[in-house]
Homo-oligomer: A and B are copies of this chain.
Amino acid sequence: MRVSVRDLQVTYRAPGGLALPALGPISFEVEPEQFVAIVGPSGCGKSSLIRVLAGLQKPSSGSAYLNHQPIQEPSSAVGLMFQDSNLMPWRTVIDNIALPLELAGVSKMERRAQAADLIPQLGLEGFEEAYPGELSGGMAQRVALGRVLIQRPEVLLLDEPFGALDALTREQISLDLLQLWQQSGATAIMVTHDIREAVLLADRVFVFSQRPGKLIADVHITLPRPRHSDDMFNEAFGDFVRQVRAAIDRA
Contacts from A to B (Cβ < 8 Å): 12, 14-16, 39-43, 46-47, 83-84, 92, 123, 126-131, 134-139, 142, 159-160, 163-170, 193-195, 245, 248-249, 251
Contacts and interface: CB of A to CB of B under 8 A. Distances in A.
A42 B139 contact: yes
Q: Taking the full assembly, how many copies of this chain does it contain?
A: 2
B127 A166 contact: no
A159 B40 CA distance: 23
Consensus secondary structure, chain A interface: loop
A119 to B, nearest CB: 13
A43 B139 contact: yes
A95 to B, nearest CB: 12
Interface core residue of A42, A169, A245 (most chain B CB under 10 Å): A42
A166 B134 contact: no
Contacts of A251: 168
Nearest to A248: B168
Given A128-B15, A166-B42, A193-B165, A160 B134 contact: no
Contacts of A249: 168
Contact of A42 (B12, B43, B142): B142
A137 B164 contact: no
Nearest to A46: B136
A14 B138 CA distance: 17
A164 to B, nearest CB: 6
Nearest to A93: B15
Nearest to A211: B136
Interface core residue of A12, A127, A166, A170 (most chain B CB under 10 Å): A166
Contact of A129 (B12, B16, B135, B248): B16
Contact of A126 (B14, B127, B137, B163): B14
A166 B15 contact: no
A160 to B, nearest CB: 7
Nearest to A92: B15
A168 B15 contact: no
